[in-house]
Amino acid sequence: MVAHQWWAGLGTFLVCRRWGLGVVSSLVGGSLFLAAPYYVAEIGEGHYAQICVLSWVPWAMLAYEGFRAQPSRGWPWVTLVLAVSALAGHFQEAYYLAVTLTVFAVLDAWQEWRRAGREPAALVLTHWFAVGATTAVIAVAEVFPIWRHVQQSLRSSGIAAGDPAQMGVGMANLWQLMNGAALGGPESYQQTGSIGPRSAISDW
């Protein structure tokens, strides 16, 4: 658990340096990443798998910068990091990371198309497709057993749109960004799935 904090902080520091920030700013960046409410909440709950996946997020961003500079040389590194992240034990975060980087790749392809024409843009998209396909082949070892298991569980039909309503945040929770106790404290907690106006935001 501790080693993954260092790994996440180091990765954020390096990606900040890659983006041209100074040493102090990069140190602040690494520290803030580790202090993010989601990260702290996962540590507090002892969700080890989520911590493992999250610690690879800044490294994926760093690998993506290599891909962005030269897709033909950078794509194996992005693939490696995404695959390790997908195999780390909690697929959701790896999925969000892949979606985010795919949006980045499409944006970069669009910028290349405007700047240099169709061929460089196609180069970006082709190599990104290689990233996706290779990552999917590697990640199937993690995803297929999960998929098979879910088919046999009560949640095989997924979650209806209204189900998470009680656990989700609402407009009133914006006050908690200014004051964590604006809508009450720990005494407001009732039970899992019924937490009233209180949300994860108020914890931190």
- Sites for other proteins among residues 174-193 (CB under 8 A): 177
Cα distance between residue 10 and residue 143, in whole Å: 28
Nearer to other proteins, 3 or 172 (CB): 172
* Of the candidate residues 47, 87, 173, 195, the single one contacting other proteins (CB under 8 A): 173
One DSSP character per residue, 44-88 reads HHT-HHHHHHHTTHHHHHHHHHHHHH-HHHHHHHHHHHHHHHHTS
* Of the candidate residues 24, 46, 155, 192, the single one contacting other proteins (CB under 8 A): 155
* In the complex, least distance from residue 90 CB atom to other proteins, rounded to whole angstroms: 13
Nearer to other proteins, 24 or 159 (CB): 159
Cα distance between residue 32 and residue 28, in whole Å: 6
116 forms part of the interface with other proteins (CB under 8 A)? no
End-to-end CA, the chain: 20
171 forms part of the interface with other proteins (CB under 8 A)? yes
* Of the candidate residues 23, 32, 49, 133, the single one contacting other proteins (CB under 8 A): 32
140 forms part of the interface with other proteins (CB under 8 A)? no
Cβ atoms within 10 Å of 22's Cβ, excluding its own: 10
Cα distance between residue 159 and residue 59, in whole Å: 31
170 forms part of the interface with other proteins (CB under 8 A)? yes
Chain residues that interact with other proteins, rule: CB under 8 A:
19-20, 32, 35-36, 92, 95-96, 99-100, 103-104, 107, 155, 158-159, 161-162, 165, 168-171, 173, 177
